[in-house]
A and B are shown apart, each in its own frame.
Chain A
Amino acid sequence: NAGVTQTPKFRILKIGQSMTLQCTQDMNHNYMYWYRQDPGMGLKLIYYSVGAGITDKGEVPNGYNVSRSTTEDFPLRLELAAPSQTSVYFCASSSHPGQGGTGELFFGEGSRLTVL
């Protein structure tokens, strides 16, 4: 199992550009999440999904969009990038307790984004 895979690992954007952070998991987890972490701070939840076709906003959704067309993939779209979106982005997945899991979050390695 590869677990949770994020691409790209690093990216520099200019203000106003758009991009998509890719996230895929091979654990058949229903739940997927996107967090951002600013330097020296904790993680902030951007969006989450409880299954294919279902997404919901987290703590800091403004400036981002997501989609969940398959169980495996949960891409995060940044529209009109701003310097405030400079951060490290983490994708995570977890199993529903009904699947026999503990709700443990499995994280990807992160995507470091800089907006100049």
Chain B
Amino acid sequence: LAKTTQPISMDSYEGQEVNITCSHNNIATNDYITWYQQFPSQGPRFIIQGYKTKVTNEVASLFIPADRKSSTLSLPRVSLSDTAVYYCLVGDLWISGNTPLVFGKGTRLSVIA
């Protein structure tokens, strides 16, 4: 199971672009990279998922280099409502008897006015 490493916390001003990097040096061939967002007193919410190169949706972009040993979640022009904990998960979506996705400690993003 690929272990992930993320910064514990980050601060940003409103309107700035925020990039959160996740390291996963032992990622396996079948592993996908998924990011979740969690607000206080709520369950995590899916943000974006990718396997390689770049993925973009209406909320964020995910950059994955060719070696896939790291990934970067990019949040454009953050607002106060983006203050949350962001989790990077790496794993095989098919489970197939392996332990499914586990959450690390995440990155606590604080957006300042």
Which chain A residues have a beta carbon within 8 Å of chain B's beta carbons? 31, 33, 35, 41-45, 48, 50, 58-59, 88, 90, 92, 96-98, 102-110
Q: Are A42 and B32 in contact (CB under 8 A)?
A: no
Q: Are B36 and A105 in contact (CB under 8 A)?
A: yes
B residues less than 8 Å from A98 (CB atoms): 94
Known: A42-B87, A45-B99, A58-B99. A103 touches B34 (CB 8 A): yes
A3 to B41, CA, bound (A): 17
Which chain B residues have a beta carbon within 8 Å of chain A's beta carbons? 32, 34, 36, 41-46, 49, 87, 93-95, 99-106
A–B pairs, 12, beta carbons within 8 Å: A31-B100, A42-B105, A45-B102, A50-B95, A58-B102, A98-B94, A102-B49, A103-B101, A105-B36, A107-B45, A108-B43, A110-B43
Q: Tell me which of A42, A88, A90 contacts B104 (CB under 8 A).
A: A42
Q: Are A97 and B105 in contact (CB under 8 A)?
A: no
A45 to B15, CA, bound (A): 35
Minimal Cβ-Cβ distance residue in B for A57:
B99
Known: A43-B103, A109-B43, A110-B41. A104 touches B95 (CB 8 A): no
Q: Are B103 and A35 in contact (CB under 8 A)?
A: yes
Known: A50-B95, A90-B43. A105 touches B101 (CB 8 A): yes
Q: Are A107 and B43 in contact (CB under 8 A)?
A: yes
B residues less than 8 Å from A45 (CB atoms): 99-100, 102-103
A98 to B96, CA, bound (A): 12
A102 to B62, CA, bound (A): 16
Q: Are A105 and B49 in contact (CB under 8 A)?
A: no
Minimal Cβ-Cβ distance residue in A for B36:
A105
Minimal Cβ-Cβ distance residue in B for A107:
B43
B residues less than 8 Å from A43 (CB atoms): 44, 87, 102-103
A96 to B100, CA, bound (A): 12
Known: A33-B100, A43-B103, A45-B102. A110 touches B46 (CB 8 A): no
Q: Are B42 and A103 in contact (CB under 8 A)?
A: no
B residues less than 8 Å from A31 (CB atoms): 95, 100
A43 to B105, CA, bound (A): 8
Q: How far is the CB of B12 from chain A (nearest CB, A)?
A: 20
